[in-house]
Structure 1
Amino acid sequence: MCPHQTPCPSPDGPNRDAARTVACHPEQGWSLLCNGVVLFEDTGELLPDGAIIAPHRPTDLGVASAA
């Protein structure tokens, strides 16, 4: 499906965000990746099968920053 050499990661893999961008609409806050994933600027994702991945910002990890 992916025409790139070293094919893009599948949409169900943990590294799905590493796929190449095929359409970018920063004014609307989203990008379409080669593997069919729609990546939103808030780090949320819409997978090709309709599944939703909630935003996962680094601040959501519960790591306390150094003061």
Structure 2
Amino acid sequence: MCQHKPRCPDAGSADRDQAQLVAQAVSQGWSIRCNGLMIFDDTGALLPDGQIIAPHRPLPTLAGAA
């Protein structure tokens, strides 16, 4: 899919989210990269083949939790 020179990382590679942005819906919380990766604001993602990448944001800590 990518036509950039040098090519953007493939959707299967570890640095896949570094690919160029091609579409974005800020109000809906998603963006699509040129490698077909759909990234969501919750840090989850959807690969072009339909595989799901679970959100991987750090969990908030509770202040004063025992």
Superposed pair shares fold, TM > 0.5: yes
AA in 2 matched with 1:7: R
| Runs of 4+ residues deviating >6 angstroms | none
In the TM superposition, 1:22-41 aligns within 5 A as 22-41=22-41
* Count of aligned positions: 59
| Equivalent in the alignment of 1:17 | 17
TM-score scaled by structure 1? Answer: 0.83
Q: Could you give the per-residue CA deviations for residues 23-58 of structure 1, whole angstroms, max 9, x where no partner exists?
A: 01110000010000000001100000000000011x
2: distance between equivalents of 1:3 and 1:20?
Answer: 10
In structure 2, list runs of 5 or more residues that go unmatched: 60-66
Structure with the higher fraction of residues in helix conformation: 1
AA in 1 matched with 2:19: A
Two-structure CA RMSD over aligned residues (Å): 0.9
Q: For the pair shown, which has the larger CA radius of gyration, 1 or 2? A: 2
TM-score scaled by structure 2? Answer: 0.85
